[in-house]
Each structure stands twice: as structure tokens, then as C-alpha cells.
Structure 1
């Protein structure tokens, strides 16, 4: 295909993809299959790769995420992105109405659900998205354009070519996407997000847009900040206008003349909030007329023409029927309350996590009690207290052996959690293997969670050692695994055998031992055999190790399951020796602390650079810290360094210090 033919084909494909995305993500009415859309999108990407000059900022291909180049530059908002005054009672809503009527005789109100997400600004010029930024402090936010483009419901080009428009919206993570992300994080042994709002905020500020794209964020637009060439008179009109431009606007907005009708709608939204596929934390009441808003004005903090009603957490009582024990990803035995079903925030719940043994004892929870339950953050059910003890209430005792594998469980003196530390416990198998093959551990490419799940479900692997006994014939039979993919996976498994001992130690998932601690162990003991012979005191003597970490390592290697696993890995040819050694010594005796986002180096890359030259990378600032390397958005560590008089340097300074030894 020559350039002219490519131009013509791109001109045909782009409007089709834009319309298909609009129908699917905004109108919830797909007109083509996913297969047909993906095929067309990949055709566009192929053409743009062949002819880069045809790639434009509004291309649908930009939604998949480009290179990790986000720097989150500051953006000064031309129109302030203010916040609304919160109210918590219907009397406060009536008081708001009384204040409005002192200035406006017959106000019309718009009531809409308050999405619990992250507020952003979207700027368009000549109908094309040119910049997106976060709210920040209302006056200055951060540029997140590359990540915003991955949100499929945001139009990259408007349906009408306007000279300029800036709109405000709320980026959120749908509850379905949130559940998928949490499941993935738990499997990868990553601390999960607390709620959808935190998940949305964390996802939008990823340096790599591809990660943002994988999180499946969405948006509702609810306000026009600036508009050139058009004059609108009301909020309702602006919502309809934004909808005509292709935006996904705030749902379920309605107009009312009386405050009693407003309050009734707030109640209706509150009763329906459990049915929404996204999280809301209130309802917003706004004066509809823009001229009325000008008459009402604003205080130093809030506009006088709107308030946000915040819903209180709903609490209900129910009978505790049983307490079940679940074995989590780290071997933690977590008690879960099983109770008579109740409806909270619109959904039926019958289970809630009880955290640990101390939590149960502290609240004096017994099976048969009447308990008080609510949804923390309107998402996660939690037991608040005991309302009344049942006549036949039975105190609960945590098990002494793992309910999954039968091995004895243990509890560290400074922990509230009881754990199974058997590395071959069936309950932790899938998550342990996901961790073992991860990039920072054995780095087996192509061995993702989905592939591992199929292998486990088909009985092909029952331990990480089984990865090294897989045959090409077994792998190629897996769903969606062709000959080339199977060959690549087998090569990656073979390559992992030569990984350094530190990677193996980290991959084994020893309690309290992270990537850095695994490197220290490998450097100190050199071989797996030497480490397995080490006493608690010998392990604790490593700088940076404490009694708890040392005990975790010692206990892990005394398990019969661990010894059997190591022997199997040895027999498979997995390396058991450390080759870690500094490439220089100019940082010997120096301690560095990294804070903020560095311009070109990731945190891991900067840490490796420091350690390769004999230095130490610490996570906390103290008087013993030699240098603090500060990047963009440096926080409390920078403040503490300044208070202690610790020398603060930039990434450029660090690289100059490395000199010719930079690797």
C-alpha cells in the first residue's frame, strides 16, 4: 500500500472506529462485534506504523497507550476547578434552599448522583482533544493527557468542530473493573486498592499509559468550564449540549421546582446507589439557571448555588451463623463472618471479613450473636460490634493447623495474623506461582496468571518446581497457545534456570522478604546450601535485617516442604548460586534515599545503579542518610531531609557522581 492509498484508508477507518466506540462506550449500544472492531483498529495501527506521518493526536490507536513518557507537568487552570460545600442532613438542604430564595424568587434545581472519582479537565481546540489535567488544588493540576486518551468513552474528536471548549468530568473505575483489578493485584501479591476512587486516582497517574489502559477507567462529564462561539443559559442545556458533542454526561439528572421534591430525589438516589455499576458517595443539588448562579455568587471556598449531600454509611443488625477460615495469598488465615443475609447500599450481603483473632476477641464476637454490619466506603461489608449475645452463643477459637494443607500454623510475636508457611499449600499455590514467575523474580515471559490458572486447573503444575518439568506437548495443548507461543514459553522457562540466586529467593515468597532483602541474603551467603545452614543470629547479622526477618527465613528453610522443593529445583537445573557483586566502589559507605518521580530512571533502576556501585538505597531518611535523590512531586522525605540538613541532589547529580561507571 502506497502513501496515498494509506491516507485514503485511514480517512475511512478513523470515523468508523470513532462511531463504533461512541455507540459502545457512551450509548451502551454496540453496533459491531468486538472482533470486527479490534480487526479494524489493528489495521489502523499497522498503517500508522508503516507511515508514522499519518499518526495524529486524535487517532483511535492512541487509546491503547503509548510509551511510558508521562511526566505530569503542572497545568494552571484558566477557570478554577472548585469544590462544593458538603451537607449531611435534609435540614441543611432546606437551609441551602432558604439562602437561595433570599436572592432568587423561583429557583429551578438539578439533582444528579455524585460520582466518587477523580475530577479532571478536558480541553479541546478545533474539536480535537489537546490537553487533560487533574483538579489538583483547584488552581493547578497535572497534565495526564496520554493517560486520559486511553479512556474509550472520552471523544478524541468532537462531533462538532468548535473553536474551543473546556469541560469538567469525573474519572472513575467501574465496580466490575475494580473487582478485576483487585483480583489481579492479590494474585500478583501487590497491596490492593482500598476502594474504586483510590484505584481510579492511582491508575490515572501511572507513568505508563498501557497500565492505565488495562484498568478500564471511565468518565462522566458534568460541567462546561469554558466555551467559545456558543452561549448557553442553563445547566440542563449544557448537559444536553455536551451529550450532542459526543460526551458521556452525568446520568439520571432531573429538575425540580420545590425543595421537597429535591429531597425526595436525594432519597431515591440513595436507595438506588447499590444498583449503579459505579460508586457514588452522595447527590449534588445545583441551581439550573446560569444567570441565577451569577446573582448568587460564591464564598471564598464554595459556590452559593450548589451543595453536595453526602450519604451516611448504612448499618443493619443480623445473626452471626458461623465463622469460616480462608487461607490468603500470603498464607494468612483470615476469619470470615457468615451471617443471615441483609441488604446494604442496595446489595445483599451475607459475609464480612473479621481480620484476625485479636479483632474477634476485642469485640467479643461469638457464633450466634446479633451483630451490627455496615459497608465500609459503601463497598466492603464490615462487622462493627455485637448488638446482643445469643442464648447459645459459642466463643470462637482459631485453628492450630492449616485447613487447606494440614500443616501447623504459626503466629509471630509482633503480628496479629496466624499463617500457614508451607510453600506447597494448595490454597496459596496459584498466587505463589504467579509471584514466582513475575518480572522481579524468575521473569518467565508468557507465563501470565491466565496460563498458570489453566496449568493448575489441569493438574499440570502443583508446585513451582513443576514448571521445569513441563513438556512442549503439554504446553501446546493449552487454549490459545500456538506452536510459536509454546516454543517461546519453553525457552523462557529454560532461560530462567540461570537467574541469580537473589531472584530465586525473592520468587520463593518468603514472608517479610522483599526483593532487596533477597539480594542481601544472596550476597551474604552466596549459595542456597549456605543459607539453609545459617542460624537465626547469622541471618540477623546482615545490615538491614531484624529478628523478625531472620526468623522468617530460618523458619521457611526448616520446613520439610521447602527442602523437598529446593531439591526438585536443583534437579531441574535451577541456579542456586549468587553472582551479585558491585561493579564499582565509589558509593561504598554511602546511603541514598529516593523520593518523587525521577526524569528518566525508574525507582528500581536508580536503586540498582546505587547498589552496583557499592552504595545502599534506604526507604527512610535519617541523620545517617548521605544523600536524598529528589524527583518531581517529592513528598515528606524531602521535607525531612531539609529539616535534618541532609544533602539533596537531582537525578542528574546522581548520574554525574556515577561517572564512567554508570551501567
Structure 2
């Protein structure tokens, strides 16, 4: 499907994610296991990004076998398996300079780091990942990445690669060296010539040739192939190589490994980008394939603190080489209305091929972007606006959802008029309002807006919410417009079976596309979801600013629906203790709190929620077993400067120990952890008789069992 995710229905998105999971798994197998890729690297990146973009647009549809959570492919049966002591993970990707700024910003934010921060930048080799295990200086094992957890034993082949040492002097007793097996361009050309002379199949590119050569059961075949190895990382260690990434790589070089001479230490995002451009200019003359530049935090202690996501490290990112561009005609601008009422502009284009994909739609973000302004009101594109009829540049920097990048004013038609963003919802004709500080204009119609109502229902039944089997996007749309069995709000789902019983010949089982068995399965699936965890219920309501993580936060804090709903009712008074307690929850600000309280105080929306909860058994949050934690159940506030950890680390640490973290001091606060610079919070805590401790005492307290 070449359809833009912006135009997908939920059913189409679910179907496409299912297809992508299958296609990407097959591509992984052919690439990592069979060494015979059936699609190009660009097409593979496109598919993975498509999967990621659809998951971002429909987070509730993310599959258990999502490619986003997988690394590489399973081990081929012909090779014995090797369990990696330290996982071999993939890297997150950046495609634009702004994403490099974002990466550096995320690192600083997570660490709470304001001082100098160094990164290494090195070419991203397009080869086959390999881990070499040395014990007491002897090479004892070589393994491919495989699926990241388990790789293939290729020790016999790795020993034939000329620049892989068999013995190391002055190395740690245990050392796993990681890097990339590759083939130089001239060696690749010579290999293919020999293949032709022997009447054998040629290789499509050096990466395939390197992978196919290493993964041979007959080591003599590998020996005949001109492979080489770049070292750039490590796995299991008996002792550290160094305290920084660059020093550790230099240590690997001193042990006899080939490392990349283009690796450079950089002190800022701009220096990283400058080095990226320098490497890009040299790309065609390097003599081997690269497909980007890898950035890593240099300080290994900071790497440890940053840690990992499910499949990627927080301290590294791959900056891929550039976007693909194309020019075409902008034929129209359509407005789509989402479940929160957001009016999203979509460009309708003359079809054009960008990166092997035919593009006819592209996002325009918001009205400021159309008018040539950025998020802070600054000029972008030199202030040039987009108008229907313009000759525009479309780009895909590995992104699935195409974007408009630029406009050629010399090609602008004489009658092209500035685009007037609608102030009336195109779906229900309610006023579309833009709040101060908000980049998005929103329909004020709420549940009377059919677009919002349908999208809210789709969200309600989606995977991260109620996840009702048999009630997907297509069925929601059908029931919404059904004159006999209408589903206009979530509560209607749970009265469906009772209402259907009174429908006589028009009962659901007698309709096209339904039968007795499918109808009973649907009703059973609905009944099963009458028991619902509190966090899922909160998330399913589709309240603006309340995503899945926020719903989990609220559920953990209030623990039961009764406590939650009482707090919402009391918090309608912004001067109440309930409202102050709500905004004191760490991670809940006034915008979040106001959106939440408004939803529960709005007459029509609250009535809809109350009708829903009458049909449900809402499960309390079961608190995690924190053993004998000294802070379990305590409300903790952090203030001042923390010197041994960032605020994000401190919060995660406290919650893991069973504490609740608040952003402000109140009479309910149990502990205030005060670092240097603690001000009014420390004063207030002292006045209330709250325990005040420093960071060292806090660390000692949570270490107690």
C-alpha cells in the first residue's frame, strides 16, 4: 500500500501493520540470514519508517511482533547459536540536522547536564555486525548479531579474515570486540569478475558479498574472499578499556584492531553536523560503503546513566545520508479533523515519485507552516508561504509521511491566492479555535462533531485502550451510522447485545458480513472487556494531553476509580486542595490538569463517561512489590540541584522503590530531597515539619532493605 498514513483508516492501518510485519520479517531473514536481500536498503528503511509512522499515528495498533521492537533476524538452522552476554542492539536514526539537535537536547535533558558534553562521530559502515570474544588474550568465538540476543557461531570463518587478531597482548581477561565485516570496492569488483569467470552468481553489492562470505560453513570459501573488519565497540568485559568512547576505541587500535581514522571528537551538535558533511563529501572516495555517520556520547559513565530503550541506546544515534527530493504541483489543501478536534492540513499533489514511492499527499503541519512561520513565530523558507497552484518541493528523509519543504516562487501562478485557514470546522460547522500558545486550531464542537465522535470511538476500541476483538475501524464506522443499532458513544457498545435482541429480523446475525458465530464472538469480546484496568479506561477516554504514559501516571497515583473521580470532581475548584494535589503530581502541569478536569466537568462529556462506567468493573492498580523499601508509599519532592543524578533518574529511582514523586511541597509530602540552591520548597517543608534530607542521605535511604 502506497497510501499516506495521514489518509489511512484504522482498519487500513491495522492491515498495513500486519503486512509490514510480514514483509520486514522476510526482508530481515533474507538480509541477515540468507544474505540475499530481495529489496534495496532504501526500500527497507522506507518500510521500517512506514511501520514507525503508522505506529506513531495509531499507537494502539502496535503489534506484539512489531518490527520496531526487533533487531536483525533469527539464527539460520545451519549455524550453532551463540547467546550474547551483552545484547547487540541497533541504533535509532536521524535524517535531518534538526534531529541531531534534538538528540543532543534529549541527552542533556535526561542527564540534567548543562556543562561541556563531548560526542564521537564516525562513519556508519555498511557491512555485517560481528562480535569477537577473547579469553585470556585468545580468540575463542565469533558471532553475528542475529536477533540481538542470539547470533550465529562463525568462529571458523572469522579466523580467516586477515586483520582480525587471533591473539591479544595486554588485553582484559575477557573482552568482546564488536565491529563490522566489510569488503572494499576494488576487492568486490575483483570478486565478481572471478565469479563471472567461474560461471557463478555475482553479488549485488559489497555488503551482500561480505555477509555471504562470512556466513559460510566451509571456511575455505571465506578465506578466498577479501574481507576486512573495523572495530568500533565492545560487549562483555572483565575490566574497562577506558573512561571514554574515543579512548576505548584507541585502546582497541593499540591491541591490533583496525579502527576508522575518520572518527572524531565533537563538542556540539553543530560540530557533529559539520563532520557529517565532511564525511559525506568523502563518501565516494573512501573505497568502502557507508550509509551515514554514528554519534555517541563520549563519556562512558554518562553512557551508563543514559542506558537503553527496548532496542536502541539513548546515548547513540545514526545520522543517515540525505533525503530524497522531488518537485510537483500543489493542487489543493484539505483539512482533516482528529479525535481531539485538531484541524490538520494535508497537501494534495500531482503524483510524483520520491524515493521509489508515488506520493500524492503530504503533511503541511499547521497554519503557521503554510504561512512560512516556525513554532516560535520565526520565518522559515525565507517567509515564503504555500498556495494552491504552487510548484513545491516534496521530501522524504527516510520519513514515510512526506512533507513539503520549499516553493519555487518563479513558478507561482498569477492567480494564486494566500491560503485562508478555516475558522469553522468543515465537519460540523462549529467554530475552530486556536488558543494562545497553541500551534493547532481545534474544532469546538466536541461530541456533536461526527469526525471527533468517530475518531474517539476508534481510539476507544483500539489496542492500547479497550482492544475489543472484532470491533475495529470498519465496524465502528458502520455502527456509528447504523439506524437500527447506532453506536454514538462508548457506552453504546456495552448495550449492543441487549438492543440487538429487540431487533427481530434486523438482528446483527442476519446482516451481510455477519453471522451467528461472528456476532456471538463480538458480544463475548465486549463482555470480556467489561473488566478493565484503571489506566486503560483513562487512556481510552481520548482526553487531550492524556496519552498512555499520562494515563498510567494518573492510575498509579490515584490507584482506584473512586479516588480518581472524587479528585476530578473536587478539582473543578481551582483553589481546592484536590486541584493543588493534582498539579503537584510530578509530570502533571496546569495545561494537562485543566484539560483533564474540564473533560470531567463538561456536562455532556461527563454524562457520557458516567453512562460508560455503569457497565464496567474498573480494576484498581496493584502496587508493585517493593520489598522492604524504606520509601514505599511515601510522597517525595526533589528540589535544588542534584549532583549525582539527573532529575529524571531520581524520579525513576524513587518510583522503582515504591515512592510517589510530587512536584510541589504540601502537608501530604513525606520527604523533601534538597540539593544546593533549594529555595522556597525547603522553607515551606521546614515550616510544615516535613523531613528534609540531602542527596547523599536519599541515596543511603533507598539503598536500605
Q: TM-score, normalised by structure 2?
A: 0.44
Q: TM-score, normalised by structure 1?
A: 0.47
Relative contact order, CA 8 A, sep 6+: which one is greater?
A: 2
